[in-house]
Amino acid sequence: MIQKISELKTYSIRRNSLRILLTFLFLFLTNKSHTQQKREIFVKTIDQKITVDGRAQEESWNFAKEVGDFTQWFPSDSAKATNKTFVKALRDNENIYLLIKSVTSSKKYVIPSLRRDYQGRAADNVSFIFDTFNDNTNAYFFGVTPAGTQRESLVFNGGNDYGRDTDSSWDVKWECESEVYDDYILNEVKIPIKFLNFPEGSNSWGFNIYRFDSNTNERTVWSPVSRNQMIINLAFLGKMIFEDPLEKSMAPLAFIPYLNTIKSKDFEKQSKSNNLSYGGDIKVPIGNGLNLDLTLNPDFSQVEVDDQVVNLTRFEIRLPEKRQFFIQNSDLFSNYGDSRDGRPFFSRRIGVAKDLDGNNIQNKIVAGARLSGKIDENWRIGFLHMVTDEDIKNQIPSNNNTVFSLQKKMFSRSNLSLIILNRENTKDYDFTQFNDKFNRLIGLDYNLASNDNKYVGKFYFHKSFKPDSNRDDDDESFGGRIVRNTRNNTLELGGSFIGEDFKSDLGFVRRTDLFKVTPKYKLKFYPNRDKLIQVDLDIGMWSYYRPNDNFKNSDRTISPSINLRFKNQSNFDIRLYNRNTYLYNDFDPTGLNPENPIPAGKTYKYSSIKFNYRSNEAKKFYYQIEPEFGEFYTGTKYSIENRFNLRFQPYMTTTLSINYDHIDLGNAFPSENIWLVRPKIDFTFTKNLFWSSYIQFSSQSENLGINSRLQWRFAPLSDLYIVYNDNYFIENSLVPRLRSLNLKLTYWLNI
């Protein structure tokens, strides 16, 4: 009887949750917003070739119309820029040219590195955005420093969040040169049109350009953006108007072969190996909007190692994807579901598997294909298929891994997206369970973004399938999130449900049998002070329930905070945490005493306070300090995370991260001191020669790792890598574990 009541409650909450989501969807689907007059920059067509040298000596520049009148985004969005910035644009049949003149008050600039894809937050630079389909959702992003260092990215999801909504792995051949004069900088840029996707006959693109100026500590922008929005937000673009419509253009076929030699020694197995591998990628343009990428025997040995982390939670840690083949256009595949608890596709599931001891090991990828891009102004498509090899010794089967995504633009900036996933064994194996032969999923997501970005949100419904699926399975996942963001207030309401039988082998699902509620509110003030420019007061709650346990509240966190933002770009915040955690299983948070865990079957209540200070990253020495102390389950925990950075610009940056946790769970448990130390040094000798070394020591995993990489970009997008890796067990002394040396050559060939 009790089980029947629980099932009825689960059905009721699923039905009512869907009703609430549909109500939100109805209310916000038709949201209309006033559109302000857009700024315009005119692009004159020329037949004279431009030499990109940062000097602008060609006569054609005299006929280009100039725009300026930049406004501040930081520290105040109601003031004009102190130092002026002027922009001109031209084009011929093959290229778009930009000339950017940045007036300066000093020749002292912040140039952290000569490495491509520099971090712009702490650098003097100008960055510009092209929305070639005028959808205010996807765009190309470029940037350049006074030293002529380049960066480029893809922007998606409207640019609502710089970290989540940009892809810096995208590479393209373009030119820029910078020349520093007494009181200004000239940046001259040439971008080949053939490398950008756009509709044939385009008369205009969305466009914006912004500047970070360390002399005045200002961040200024041509088409104004409110301070409560990201400066790259695509809702606030101006217009780039072409004198003549753009002709059809197509990127050339690109072949990118590689050759890799590796010499390694496994000290545990007392074995040595010398291997030679080869393979490559082929990039095939299809029309003006689609790209087909093919890869054979891909190799990722040049990718920087993952950051080691201290995991004091009950759940798996999700590490970021760093393999270029999976990152490009990744929003078409990864931007589904609940990003924290129920993401249906997580690309790191491909090429990584577990051995018989439960350790993560590399699972060889045989080949793969990816089709992605724009069908037209309203439709995007993504298709990814990867074949992984079998590993009989570790009982790992060969799998076909397939993802299909279709996205339809709705209204001004929203979209409706369909995703289909399939992971299936390529053949029958004796060691594979019947229910593990395949896993499939189908889902529908609606991503909301109003015209002025005041409202953003997501609503989704996903269903999974396995060989023994039946109608009674609780195998759905659905949820929603809606955010109202104004200058002074941000209100967010969210919730999600993950059924006990929901499964996504290619996804990241922290736990099942979950119903989650996440309301948040932020109040923002803008004091008219010399130093303090913004105060944020916010409070959030994360509450988890178990539907199949009479909706027992398994986890709840309430967290108020205050954040102070200063004119010198430093930040200080204080955050309180009040947590309730019910343990369904015995748990050792340190990971060092599995024989003596915290017992299950009761609720633990504990609170803590955290401080965080981040100094101005434009300084040559900058740092971040984050201490936290308070209760922790049955005892107490003191933690501190430190990050110190010293820059000898533009050639060298050193970073030292030190994390320390002291955990005392009471007399019944041993106290533990956990250290994580990560020094890193990065040399950029020139714009084409780099060397970085990264050392990581973790007392929790008892591991010391060394990763050292030398990269020489000897031709555009073509590299020679030398990579050295060394790993040690940390017991009473250093015990060698695995050592390797790689020499890898890649070459980009346009055909």
Helix (H) or strand (E) holding 25: helix 2-29
Q: Decide if 89 is inside a domain.
A: yes
Closest CA to 388 of 372, 408, 368, 410: 368
Render pLDDT for 93-128 as a digit per residue (tens, 0 to 9): 999 999 999 999 988 999 999 999 988 888 999 999
Q: Decide if 592 is inside a domain.
A: no
Mean pLDDT (whole number) for 454-483: 94
pLDDT of residue 7: 53
Render pLDDT for 144-167 as a digit per residue (tens, 0 to 9): 999 999 999 999 999 988 878 898
The mean of the pLDDT values for the chain is 93
Lowest mean pLDDT among 25-34, 110-119, 466-475, 543-552: 25-34
pLDDT of residue 731: 78
pLDDT of residue 27: 47
Where in the sequence is the domain holding 191, given as residue range(s)? 31-242
Helix (H, G, I), strand (E, B) or coil at 355: coil
Q: Decide if 290 is inside a domain.
A: no
Q: Are 390 and 5 in contact (CB under 8 A)?
A: no
Q: Decide if 98 is inside a domain.
A: yes
Q: Decide if 171 is inside a domain.
A: yes
Mean pLDDT (whole number) for 352-360: 88
- Write the DSSP string, 53-105: SSS--SGGGGGSPPB---EEEES-TTSB-SS-EEEEEEE-SSEEEEEEEEE-S
Residues contacting residue 236 through CB under 8 Å, at least 6 positions apart:
208, 223, 224, 225, 226, 229, 453
Give percent of the chain with pLDDT exceeding 70: 95
pLDDT of residue 248: 81
Integer CA distances (angstroms), 129 to 132, 145, 414, in order: 9, 15, 20
Render pLDDT for 228-287 as a digit per residue (tens, 0 to 9): 999 999 999 999 999 999 998 778 899 999 999 999 999 988 999 999 999 999 999 998
Render pLDDT for 427-467 as a digit per residue (tens, 0 to 9): 999 999 999 999 999 999 999 999 999 999 999 999 999 99
Give the number of domains in the chain. 1
Q: Are 194 and 287 in contact (CB under 8 A)?
A: no
For the cut 60, the answer to whether the pLDDT of residue 74 exceeds it is: yes
Residue 87 CB neighbours (<10 A): 23
Confidence of residue 170 (pLDDT cuts 50, 70, 90): confident
pLDDT of residue 32: 46
Q: Decide if 157 is inside a domain.
A: yes
Q: Decide if 613 is inside a domain.
A: no
The CATH number given to whatever domain includes residue 122 is 2.60.40.1190
Q: Decide if 99 is inside a domain.
A: yes
Residues contacting residue 441 through CB under 8 Å, at least 6 positions apart:
344, 419, 420, 421, 462, 463, 464, 465, 504, 506, 507
For the cut 80, the answer to whether the pLDDT of residue 627 exceeds it is: yes
The one-letter code for the residue type at 737 is R
pLDDT of residue 11: 52
